[in-house]
Amino acid sequence: MTSGNKSTTAEDGTVTEHSQSDDQTADGGTAEAKKPRSFWKELPILIVIALVLALLIKTFLVQAFSIPSDSMQDTLQRGDRVLVDKLTPWFGSEPERGEVVVFHDPDDWLAGEPTASPNALQTVLSWIGLMPSAEEKDLIKRVVGVGGDTVECHGTGPLIVNGKALNEASYVYPGNTPCSQDDQGGQFKVKVPKGFIWVMGDHRQNSRDSRYNQADKNHGMVPVKEVVGRAIVRAWPINRWGTLPVPDTFGQKGIGQQASAAGALTVAPGGVALTAAVPLVVWRRRRVLKAETGTGTPTTATGAR
């Protein structure tokens, strides 16, 4: 049977086989090298990969949130954008004292608050994680107490956690007192149950937080399962960029604070996605070029019998 292949034998016994198509190509025959796609043809692939990665990053790693109120001044101003670490909760890490966290509305804390209708651009940006969804009812506050803690406020303060007075001068809004002197929740002593946190805004006299929701089903506590993640970076505007560390007062001896396991993810989802997508496209192009370079290469077998 004739296979259509040619063989040549060297003096050392090496046999080299050439296919008929190889000869035709060498003679200017029918096969043509596949041209690599231009960058502009690859660009849509790059964009699709970046969008998919951004969606995954928004879901599992980090998401941007906009600050809609003044309740966290001066730490956060209305209109600031923060990046929230969503990864560590997947590994069982729970919020710790002093952290600024985003959480879902636990029991109609936002009842009566107007909800703006998003435009097309906002819808796209929220889908890829560069803005929060307008339908999501989320709040951002500072964790003051975790499961097992006793938190109390008397007079104008200081705020006391597990018998330790907090020095909150570095983050409580200037002119505010740590505790509010009102009969609607400003004066309190609570025991935080396991699986819950007690949260308060840094603008103490302008924050509807755990203090003023003690009549709800959770007595003002926020279930840990409702926590979206820890706010780790104030990313926008640029002139306000900075991290959101835990204040030193929460690390004082005897308060019971544990080391934080939160990671420092500081890159916006879109940027991470684009960075990850580029190597994939480059790798794909190299595979195509390598395959083209290998077209017509002879197959060599040594030690033929």
Q: What is the pLDDT of residues 46-58, one digit of tens each?
A: 777 766 666 655 5
41 counts as catalytic = no
Amino acid 304: pLDDT: 29
**Which among 53, 69, 206 has a CA at the least distance from the CA of 139?**
69
Tell me, what's the pLDDT at 127? 61
Give the SS3 label for residue 51: helix
Residues 6+ apart with CB under 8 A from 298: 16, 17, 18, 22
Q: Where are the domains of the chain?
A: 38-61+266-294, 62-264
* Among 155, 156, 157, 161, residue whose Cα is nearest residue 247: 161
Radius of gyration (C-alpha) of the chain in whole angstroms:
31
Percent of residues, the chain, with pLDDT higher than 90: 44
**What share of the chain in percent tops pLDDT 70?**
59
Report the pLDDT value the prediction gives residue 103, as an integer from 0 to 100.
Answer: 94
Tokens (6 digits) for 145: 């107490």
- In total, the chain counts a number of residues equal to 305
Instruction: Tell me how far apart the alpha carbons of residues 296 and 23 are, in angstroms, rounded to a whole number.
Output: 8
Nearest to 70 by CA among 178, 209, 274: 209
- Per-residue pLDDT, averaged over 146-172, amounts to 96
> DSSP strand E in the chain: where?
6-9, 15-18, 62-66, 81-85, 100-104, 138-146, 150-153, 160-161, 164-165, 188-191, 196-200, 222-223, 227-236, 242-243, 299-301
Give the pLDDT band of residue 86 (cuts 50, 70, 90).
confident
pLDDT greater than 80 at residue 108: yes
Cα distances from 173 to residues 76, 91, 178, in angstroms, run 10, 33, 9
Catalytic residue among 71, 180, 207, 210: 71
Tell me what pLDDT residue 259 has: 37
User: Catalytic: which of 58, 86, 126, 141?
Assistant: 141
Q: Which CATH superfamily is domain 62-264 in?
A: Umud Fragment, subunit A (2.10.109.10)
The set of residues, in sequence order, having a beta carbon less than 8 Å from that of 199 and lying 6+ positions away, is 101, 103, 141, 142, 143, 144, 209, 210, 222
Task: Note the pLDDT of residue 121.
Answer: 65
Q: What is the pLDDT of residue 148?
A: 96
Q: Is 86 an annotated catalytic residue?
A: no
Greater model confidence, 184 or 113: 184
To which residue do tokens 């949130």 refer? 65
The mean pLDDT of 165-176, rounded to a whole number, is: 96
The Cα–Cα gap between 144 and 96 comes to 8
The three-class DSSP label of residue 101 is: strand
Per-residue model confidence (pLDDT) at position 176? 96
Determine the Cα–Cα distance for residues 201 and 207; give it in Å rounded to an integer.
5
Per-residue pLDDT for 136 more than 50? yes
Can you read off the two tokens belonging to residue 272? 């991470």
Q: Walk across the sheet containing 150-153 and list its strands.
A: 164-165, 160-161, 150-153, 188-191
pTM of the model: 0.64
Ranges 76-90, 202-216, 263-277, most confident: 202-216
Token pair belonging to 127: 């889908």
